[in-house]
Amino acid sequence: MFSFVNPFLLSGLALVSIPIIIYLLHRHQVKEMEWAAMQFLQEIIEEQQKRLRLEDLLLLVLRVLMFVFLVLALARVGFKKGSVTLLGDRGDALVVVDASYSMATKQGPRTRFDAARSKADAIIRELPKGHGVSLAKGSEQSETVLGGNLADHDLVRETVKEMQVTDFAGRPDKLVGYIREFTKKSPSVDQTVFLVSDFQEQDWGSPNDGLKSALTELCKKHTVVFVPVGDGSDANLFAADLTLLQGAVRVGQTAHFAGSVLNQGSEIAEDVPVELIVDGETIATRTLSVGPKQTAEVLFSHAITQLGQHRAVLKIGQDANPADNKTYLSFEAHDRLRVLAVVDQPPAEGIAKPTDFVELCLNPFRDGSEDPRALYNFVHIGMQELLAENLSEYELVLIADVNSVTATEAKHLEAYVQAGGGVLFFMGNNVSPTLYNDNLHRNGEGLFPWPLIDAPIKNDDKKQPLLLSIQQADHPVWRHLVSGKKNYMDTVRFYKTLGFKPSESKRAISLATVPATDSEAAAIAEFTLGTGKVIVVGSSADLSWNNFAACPTFVAFIQEALKRLRIPRLEDKQFRVGASVTEQVTFEQSQSTGELINPQSESRSVSVLKEGGRYVMHLGVLGFAGVHTLRESGSADGREFSVNVNPHESRIVSMQTSELSKIYGPMGVVVDGSSDLSVAFANIGAGSGLSNLCLLLAVLFWISENLLAHRIARRQG
Amino acid sequence: MSKYLAKYLNPKAISAIGGFVVNPKGLVEGNMAGAHKSPFHGFSVEFAGHREYLPGDDPKHIDWRAYYKRDKYLLKQYEADTNLVCQLFVDVSESMRYGSSELTKFEYANYLAVSLAYLVTKARDKIGIGLFDDRVVQYLPPSNSLGSTYTISAMLEDFTPSKKSEIDKTLLDFAERIGRRQLVILISDCLLDIEQLKYGMARLQYDRHEIVLLHVMDPYELDFPLDGHVKFKGLEGLEELKLQPKQIRKAYLEKVNQHIQKLRSACEASRAEYVLVNTGRPIEEMLFGYLTSRLTHLTRGGRS
């Protein structure tokens, strides 16, 4: 299959018809004449007819071939082998250099990205002069670095040298989608696309149908060359996570950090130094050994002495890929956080309340909220006082063992949750499921999308606990309790609980179930309303229906539930690179513009838009790992939030040429894993050579035609 | 005499060659006293010898001196002079119809024949003519009448070539019709079998005729200057051929030259004179040249 740089010149193939037309015209322009000396002619014909016809045909063929090869040479022909274009002198080239952070992996003294730049440089250097080149960075957020098919190859090569690895992950489908869009927009009809990448096995090893069809389509119209630069090594450590163990940090108190390190390699990583840096100061360094494909956790504690925002970084020692050796956490140190604890009757001083266990979890001191070290200031009220409270002043509303919620109270709570607030419900002996359903379920439109089952669930043998089955093991409330085979919740005994009857609802998640009469009932559930959340524990907050409140797991559960339910603040969120963030702002904040400063200290102005009655700022796609700051324009203070790299990209195992050829060869992709790009550039040479060969053949045919014509003329005398 | 002027009696040719006489190169047998040497002895001027008297001989020819010396009646004999009988044998086959210019070979041959007839009859010699294609189609016995020229011209004018030539049969037939020791002028384009021609000429040679072959060829046949694609429609019933003449010109010329060479050889073998006549040359020029060369040849040979 042939390809052409100047396909429009193929119209010149019409020239081929000239000798044929002349030949046919001559044949038809026959003079007739009577002739006497026919005997001589007949003798000659008998002797020479075959030769004369052969010469005639040979002349015609030589002339036709001369035109054909001349036109092919001018059209700069290349050739395809099967469905794969073997790079003739194609129109323009797009060089895509994978800039995902796995490309920062070191291979000897150089990184994969260094190798990719060298390859890209070699590709551009070898491309025929006068052909346009575009340059792009490939990742999940691919971007064109130099578009417009530049003829100045030197400029493109200089630009290649200045390219840097990004913090984005690589996504083959997005990358190929970008290439397709680029080639569609490009004026050049057929292009050669060079993708220089480490071709991570996890991404490229088993392409989905969408990627296959996209690549096949692309290859039908363009030449696609994969230039792999990665080696087969898999040794890489990933600073996977850094979190605060407590729901919030109180100034003057010790903050507890949990860091985790993932070993993506197939060999154990020993004596890995792990360092915690808070506000630029190294707090502590631990040494870990992490088994292959294992995650190891490390705990740090540090007293936070200043109110306000802080930055923590978990940093591991140098390994193959330094781009994923840090994980960032921004957090705020508070003075006191208010929690509204609601029970059925106004609590009397000194009388145990169902919320005491929760308070103890959050303020683990003898005097509870009264202790000067306590972070949470618990405000205890009876249910009848709820309407008098301005709920937006509280980080959390805790409702435990309340008999019923009136419609007005339900509305009051709904408004709070709708605006982003969080409510934690515990059930108990006083609870009337029917009354709850009347105002909180409201046929699925209230706070509870699911209805409570009318009667508590319990075993006939009261001493036998219910079989508690944890759902959604990756849910944040189970962060420290359930992971993989680990399940600390198996020490928890629910003897009696109210349960929800699950049904199809986008607002509800079942977090734990127990066997009910006819099916499983949700004993712990999370509901969403607006931007806020509700977590309901069907059992009691004290020890009357379970042992949960006395278990250590209760502390972790309450801490994580609190984090989950607190009014979401930008600074409390953790984002991944590549996330597109929209932040809601108040009316007052909407009066000015925002300014986003990334970890590279580059600032960008962000406008406030009104969307659906809300004021929002579109922060756009976050492209850097690190701590970002969003502030009001002109203001010195801002809110900080952390962005970390995508863990998916930390698996650095690359595919090799043979594997790539096996998978992508049938789709029409050329894979050039040679050190000198000999596959691609032998073919470019072949393309160029083919064009030159055509020119040479045209000249040869022209000379042959002349020689034959001359010989015939000589014979004719 | 013809009722109109002879078409083929070309005034230019007549004025150019009027002074020439067609003399035979050897002895001829005429039936009248004439200007040409006869192989027979008779009673003329130059003494040739004696023979015995036979009853019936004219006694006036008895050499009385010899009687006295030898006592025998001997008759004096003298070399006889006789007239020339020239026989024209003109090819009227279809191939003679070809002509690239204003004259076809047939017309040119006719001009030649009539002009020669004029020269012969002007010298009081006899001229006869035979026309042939695959047979002798017409034959006019020799006559020394000046009107013969017109008769011959008219005969040729009325003829249209249409058949193939067969020279051997026709020459044998022709030889049967004519006597001996005559001047036979064969006018043909010679597109025929040379072996047959040789056979025919051998028959004429046997009768001690002087043979002249005027080989008439068109300048196109001699030079083949055609170009482009040409469909040649063969005369004498030959099939058509579509050719590019340029491609075969050299081969064609070689063939023609070989043919001419073979004709020359055949003529030499039959002691015939071969004259290549290019119909592209003016007739008067051709005849003048030929007759001049013939005269030169005869003079060099000691005859006049």
Q: Which chain B residue's Cα is nearest to A29?
A: B229
Pairing of the two strands A603-606 and A594-597: antiparallel
Number of structural domains (chain A) is: 5
Q: Which residues lie closer than 8 Å to A173 by C-beta, 6 or more apart?
A: A208, A210, A211, A214
Pairing of the two strands A603-606 and A254-263: unpaired
Which of A119-123, A230-234, A627-631 is predicted with the least confidence, judged by mean pLDDT? A230-234
Q: Which chain A residue's Cα is nearest to B257?
A: A40
Mean predicted confidence (pLDDT) in B245-266: 89
Q: Has residue B36 got a pLDDT over 60? A: no
Quick one: pLDDT at residue A37? 84
Q: Say whether A30 and B231 touch across the interface (CB within 8 A).
A: yes
pLDDT in tens, A448-473: 999 999 999 988 877 788 989 999 98
Percent of chain B with pLDDT over 90: 18
Q: Give a yes or no: residue A130 inside a domain.
A: yes
Q: Say whether B248 and A42 touch across the interface (CB within 8 A).
A: no
| Mutual angle of helices A112-126 and A153-162, in 10-degree steps | 180
Q: Give a yes or no: residue A506 inside a domain.
A: yes
Quick one: pLDDT at residue A685? 45
Q: Which of A334, A362, A392 is the last residue of a domain?
A: A334
A593 and A578 co-located in one domain: yes
Structural domain boundaries enclosing A147: 93-112+124-233+659-676
One-letter amino acid for residue B244 of the chain = Q
A159 and A144 co-located in one domain: yes
A552 and A406 co-located in one domain: yes
A226 and A142 co-located in one domain: yes
Quick one: pLDDT at residue A159? 92
Residue among A27, A38, A47 whose CB faces B232 most closely: A38
> Taking every pair of C-alpha atoms in chain A, what is the biggest distance, in angstroms?
146
> Shortest Cα distance from A60 to chain B (angstroms)?
15
Q: How many interface pairs between A and B have CB atoms less than 8 angstroms apart?
A: 98
Q: Give a yes or no: residue A261 inside a domain.
A: no
| CATH number of the CATH domain containing A577 | 2.60.40.10
Token representation of residue A425: 């419900």
Q: Which of A513, A535, A568 is the last residue of a domain?
A: A568
B235 in contact with A, Cβ within 8 Å: yes
Distance CA A521, CA A510 (A): 9
Please name the residues between 98 and 127 in chain B that touch chain A, using a CB distance below 8 Å.
98, 105
Reported pTM: 0.56
A388 and A487 co-located in one domain: yes
Mean predicted confidence (pLDDT) in A430-440: 92
Q: Say whether A43 and B95 touch across the interface (CB within 8 A).
A: no
Q: Give a yes or no: residue A281 inside a domain.
A: yes
- Residue A631: strand pairing partners: A595, A638
Contact list, A29 vs chain B (CB under 8 Å):
228-229
Token representation of residue A671: 């894979």
Q: Say whether B232 and A30 touch across the interface (CB within 8 A).
A: no
pLDDT in tens, A350-384: 778 888 889 888 888 888 888 888 888 889 999 99
Quick one: pLDDT at residue B11? 82
Token representation of residue A516: 């009910």
Quick one: pLDDT at residue A234? 84
Mean predicted confidence (pLDDT) in A613-629: 86
> Shortest Cα distance from B261 to chain A (angstroms)?
14
> Shortest Cα distance from B6 to chain A (angstroms)?
27
pLDDT in tens, B78-116: 665 566 789 999 999 988 989 888 889 999 999 999 998
Residue among A30, A33, A716 whose CB faces B249 most closely: A716
Residue for token pair 């009539």:
B114
Report residue A81's pLDDT band, with 50, 70 and 90 as the boundaries: very low
One-letter amino acid for residue B114 of the chain = V
Quick one: pLDDT at residue B303? 38
Contact A558, A358 (CB under 8 A): yes
Separation in Å, CA A488 to CA A426, A485, A551, A600, B225 = 20, 10, 10, 42, 114
Quick one: pLDDT at residue B106? 92
Mean predicted confidence (pLDDT) in A424-448: 92
Quick one: pLDDT at residue A85? 40
Q: Has residue A584 got a pLDDT over 60? A: yes
Q: Give a yes or no: residue A170 inside a domain.
A: yes
Q: Has residue A80 got a pLDDT over 70? A: no
Contact list, B192 vs chain A (CB under 8 Å):
none
A405 and A477 co-located in one domain: yes
Quick one: pLDDT at residue B37? 58
Mean predicted confidence (pLDDT) in B175-204: 88
Q: Say whether A37 and B191 touch across the interface (CB within 8 A).
A: yes
Mean model confidence pLDDT for chain A: 85
Quick one: pLDDT at residue A716? 64
A322 and A414 co-located in one domain: no
Q: Give a yes or no: residue A681 inside a domain.
A: no
Report residue A2's pLDDT band, with 50, 70 and 90 as the boundaries: low
C-beta neighbour count of A212 within 10 angstroms = 15
> Mutating which of A31, A38, A43, A48 best tests the B interface, going by the most B Cβ atoms within 10 A?
A38
Mean predicted confidence (pLDDT) in A234-253: 86
Mean predicted confidence (pLDDT) in A283-311: 91
Contact list, A38 vs chain B (CB under 8 Å):
232, 234-236, 238, 241
Mean predicted confidence (pLDDT) in B182-200: 89
Report residue A340's pLDDT band, with 50, 70 and 90 as the boundaries: very high
A232 vs A648, which has greater pLDDT? A648
Instruction: For residue A460, give the nearest of A411, A414, A515, A408 by alpha carbon.
Output: A515
Distance CA A15, CA A66 (A): 10
> Shortest Cα distance from B85 to chain A (angstroms)?
32
Contact B42, B140 (CB under 8 A): no
A410 and A524 co-located in one domain: yes
Please name the residues between 141 and 200 in chain B that touch chain A, using a CB distance below 8 Å.
189, 191
Q: Say whether A36 and B228 touch across the interface (CB within 8 A).
A: no
Q: Give a yes or no: residue A458 inside a domain.
A: yes
B237 in contact with A, Cβ within 8 Å: no
Q: How far is CA A121 from the centre of its chain?
A: 27
Quick one: pLDDT at residue A583? 81
Quick one: pLDDT at residue B251? 86
Residue among B231, B238, B252 whose CB faces A44 most closely: B252
A101 and A182 co-located in one domain: yes
Quick one: pLDDT at residue B213? 93
Q: Say whether A48 and B251 touch across the interface (CB within 8 A).
A: yes
Q: Has residue A84 got a pLDDT over 60? A: no
Q: Give a yes or no: residue A629 inside a domain.
A: yes
| CATH number of the CATH domain containing A402 | 3.40.50.880
> Shortest Cα distance from B109 to chain A (angstroms)?
15
A575 and A506 co-located in one domain: no
Residue among B228, B233, B248 whose CB faces A35 most closely: B233
Contact list, A716 vs chain B (CB under 8 Å):
246-250
Quick one: pLDDT at residue B44? 53
Q: Say whether B229 and A37 touch across the interface (CB within 8 A).
A: no
> Shortest Cα distance from A4 to chain B (angstroms)?
39
Please name the residues between 70 and 99 in chain B that touch chain A, using a CB distance below 8 Å.
95-98
Percent of chain A with pLDDT over 70: 93
Q: Say whether A26 and B228 touch across the interface (CB within 8 A).
A: yes
Report residue B32's pLDDT band, with 50, 70 and 90 as the boundaries: low
Quick one: pLDDT at residue A510? 94
Q: Has residue A311 got a pLDDT over 50? A: yes
A17 and A73 co-located in one domain: yes
First to last CA, chain B: 32
Report residue A86's pLDDT band, with 50, 70 and 90 as the boundaries: very low
A402 and A510 co-located in one domain: yes
Q: Say whether B233 and A26 touch across the interface (CB within 8 A).
A: no
